[in-house]
């Protein structure tokens, strides 16, 4: 049943045209605006040594992937409000299977967004990089999105429907800013930079940059993102089992 449910859940997410349009259009517009500005300059970013257009593309791909993953929170909150989760608890679907279905669907939508943004950057903005580096950058961002899919599930499980949207906006905007996806962290105070290095969005962006550069220590970003993944997965599984026991 978990495999069938994963496929059904993924297909259901891809059929939600209105949600997908919002998820894809916002980072796409930002890429075209910022990419046109930085791409025209043709300069390199000092910290990474990458062209600013590539740095911007990785940032917007990270932003788009994160947005696609976090947007799953609304669907989960709606499912809880109409009693769908209670129906699932009387099926053979385990807590791990439920978690895997949500994460798989989020990753599929996120991958679509990431690939679309990179393709637009290449075709419309003239971004140039070796095919291997594009592949590594896309893979890095995609893998780094996993904790955000889990954050979405956690929000969906814990937040009440009336509180889900403001909580989503606070979490989403905070992660985008602290991850350096909108504003370079170099212009921030040192205490903000210190906080940024704890949140997953910072390491999501970093992992994408390492892939684009083709070199660098990827173990630290992977380790921190993996730690977020393990903690969030344990919390979500516990919550699902607790709700099942109470039902």
Q: Where are the chain's structural domains? A: 2-246
**Residue 35 · residue 56 · CB < 8 Å:** yes
**Residue 16 · residue 105 · CB < 8 Å:** no
- pLDDT given at position 121: 93
Q: Nearest CA to 205 among 89, 39, 50, 26?
A: 50
Q: Which long-range contacts (CB under 8 A, 24 or more apart) does 162-166 make?
A: 164/73, 164/74, 164/77, 165/74
Residues of the chain under the 70 pLDDT cut: 1-2, 5-6, 9-10, 13-19, 39-42, 79-96, 243-247
Number of neighbours of residue 227 by Cβ within 10 angstroms: 12
Number of neighbours of residue 182 by Cβ within 10 angstroms: 14
Cβ within 8 Å of residue 58, ≥6 positions away: 50, 137, 141, 205, 208, 209, 212
- pLDDT given at position 229: 94
- Structure confidence by residue, pLDDT tens digits, 162-185: 777 788 788 888 999 888 888 778
- What angle separates helix 146-158 from helix 161-178, to the nearest 10 degrees? 150
Q: How far apart are CA 174 and CA 21, in angstroms?
A: 23
- pLDDT given at position 95: 64
Name the token pair of 16. Answer: 């939600």
- pLDDT given at position 86: 64
Query: DSSP readout, 187-200?
Result: GS-HHHHHHHTTSH
What is the biggest distance separating any 2 CA atoms in the chain, rounded to whole angstroms?
A: 60
- pLDDT given at position 31: 92
């Amino acid at each position: 049943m978990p495999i069938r449910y994963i496929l059904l859940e993924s297909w259901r997410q891809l059929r939600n045209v209105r949600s997908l349009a919002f998820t894809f259009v916002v980072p796409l517009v930002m890429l075209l605006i910022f990419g046109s500005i930085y791409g025209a300059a043709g300069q390199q970013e000092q910290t990474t040594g990458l062209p600013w257009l590539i740095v911007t593309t990785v940032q917007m791909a990270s932003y788009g992937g994160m947005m696609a993953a976090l947007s799953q929170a609304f669907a989960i909150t709606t499912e809880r409000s109409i009693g769908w989760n209670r129906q699932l608890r009387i099926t053979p679907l385990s807590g791990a299977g439920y978690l895997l279905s949500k994460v798989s669907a989020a990753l599929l939508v996120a991958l679509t967004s990431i690939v679309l943004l990179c393709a637009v950057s290449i075709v419309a903005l003239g971004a140039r990089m070796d095919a291997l580096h594009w592949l590594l950058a896309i893979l890095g961002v995609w893998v780094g999105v996993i904790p955000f899919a889990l954050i979405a599930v956690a929000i969906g499980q814990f937040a009440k429907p009336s509180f889900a949207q403001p909580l989503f906006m606070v979490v989403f905007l905070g992660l985008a800013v602290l991850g350096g996806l909108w504003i370079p962290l170099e212009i921030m105070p040192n205490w903000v930079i210190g906080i940024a290095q704890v949140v997953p969005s910072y390491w999501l962006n970093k992992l994408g940059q390492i892939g684009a550069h083709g070199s660098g220590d990827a173990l630290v970003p992977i380790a921190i993102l993996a730690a977020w993944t393990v903690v969030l997965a344990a919390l979500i599984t516990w919550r699902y089992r607790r709700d099942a026991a109470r039902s």
